[in-house]
Amino acid sequence: MQIQTPDWVKHAVFYQIFPDRFAKSQQPRKRLLKNASWEDWHEMPTLQGYKGGDLWGVIEKLDYLQDLGINAIYFTPIFQSASNHRYHTHDYYQVDPMLGGNPAFKELLDAAHERNIKVVLDGVFNHSSRGFFFFHDVLENGPHSPWLDWFKIEGWPLSPYNGEFPANYVGWDGNRALPAFNHNNPEVREYIMEIAEYWIKFGIDGWRLDVPFEIKTPGFWQEFRDRVKAANPEAYIVGEVWGDSREWLDGTQFDGVMNYLFAAPTIAFTAGDRVDIDQVKDRSYSPYPPLFAPEYAEKIQHLLEFYPWEIQLTQLNLLASHDTARLISIAGGDKPSVELATLLLMTFPGAPSVYYGDEVGLAGKLDPDSRRGFPMESNWQRDVLDYHKQLITLRHQYKCLRTGSYQVLYAHAATYAFARILDNEELIVILNVGSAASQVTFEVTGLQSKPNKFLYGSAEIEWTGEGESQLKLDIPPRSGCILGMG
């Protein structure tokens, strides 16, 4: 079977937005809760509080995103909900009124598409919430509700709020706020398929699927793919699976997953023993213990052999998300760790994803701290923004960084070098994650050219040996560079 994935994703640089925290509209809008008691934007976020970000605010920031080089946005959930993160869905057909409702979303979608920016939404299809109409009907009407079989009811009475009593229904991860759907019920299955089709026809460019591994009904995700791709063959379907995802990446289900298998070793290599274990323990990925270059090379080559190449090119690669601490906080505030990891992110096959605020140096420990309000311009770290822009520009400029092959050239101690090759376009990426300068010489095979011009970073380099087949390097500590043709 020939695997087909959406071509645009291979050339995308994603930006992940948590809508309550990215931007609050500056334009006067006729809208709900104009003077609501939002939490202070710049104070530490809380688990329950809202800061009042909205989709009009995102529209006002599209020029900023375009200038950064972003051409795709992934939104965490935007549908009506009674939680700031909106994973507790009330109504899958209504964008939350606090965000501006369906009209604001339509305006945003049109404005993004005018700039050739794609928009991917978060689909929470494993569970709903206590406020979801069909579950609410069960709470009101008990065993007489026509929607009983939509959920996994285990007994009576139901106790949706009082933890002293058994809930008597299955909630996601034992959480009674999140009643799990019964996906074996054909009505539930059809309901979810219709939601997926509705928003694709509305104009979105794909779905990011929340905890899709929880849905074990045979054929569910195959049908989901068929229905979504029938509505838009170029729609992107990406699953939130943190580990080995081969069972979902066979070409009949998802186009990619959130690639934590890239994030974990990349952080372990670049941040090393700086990693704050409290920020990563008990998470579903392992950016520790520290890795040296040979182990990093081994893990990356193993990862690149996991999935078909068409799928590798549409993986969603990331260093942080709303479910993790931010990398600068994981790395104990060490800025070179973040820059080195970002260099690896922007030069790896698959679509890189920047978590809002990371590009201006926003810190944040585990949730809720990792979901802070986007900082004022006076608090941006300009150097961090500059290297993000530089690396994103290079990714857009050189096709080999997007779809070229990935060849490890050298991996020893703290020094790692690889090439990205597409036809006659060849780039070499070199990192020294160590705290001392690195002087190495290694044989380079498989390249037609001798890249010697610095596109990013700096070092001392010389092509030596017979036929100039050896690259001699002197690279400063905690730094990286990209070499292209002069």
Residues that are catalytic: 210, 240
Contact in structure between 49 and 82 (CB atoms under 8 Å): no
Q: How far apart are CA 33 and CA 20, in angstroms?
A: 14
Question: What string of DSSP letters covers 322-339?
Answer: TTS--HHHHTTT-HHHHH
Q: How far apart are CA 212 and CA 195, in angstroms?
A: 16
Both tokens assigned to 307: 């999935």
Both tokens assigned to 401: 């960084």
Residue ranges of E strands in 240-377: 256-259, 316-318, 351-355
Three-class SS of residue 347? coil
Question: What string of DSSP letters covers 55-110?
Answer: HHHHHHTHHHHHHHT--EEEESP-EEESSSS--SEEEEEEE-GGGTHHHHHHHHHH
Cis omega (within 30 of 0) for bond into 289 = yes
From residue 114, alpha-carbon distances to 71, 80, 87, 109 in Å are 11, 26, 29, 9
Contact in structure between 85 and 321 (CB atoms under 8 Å): no
In this structure, is the dihedral angle defined by the CA atoms of residues 195, 201, 203 and 207, taken in order, positive or negative?
positive
Strand pairing report for 460-464 and 425-432: unpaired
Q: How far apart are CA 94 and CA 78, in angstroms?
A: 9
Nearest residue to 415 via CA among 396, 402, 428: 428
Nearest residue to 359 via CA among 14, 89, 1, 8: 14
Q: How far is CA 206 from the centre of its chain?
A: 13
Both tokens assigned to 79: 């549908």
Nearest residue to 151 via CA among 175, 124, 128, 123: 128
Contact in structure between 427 and 401 (CB atoms under 8 Å): yes
- What single letter denotes the amino acid at residue 118? K
From residue 299, alpha-carbon distances to 269, 400, 407 in Å are 11, 21, 13
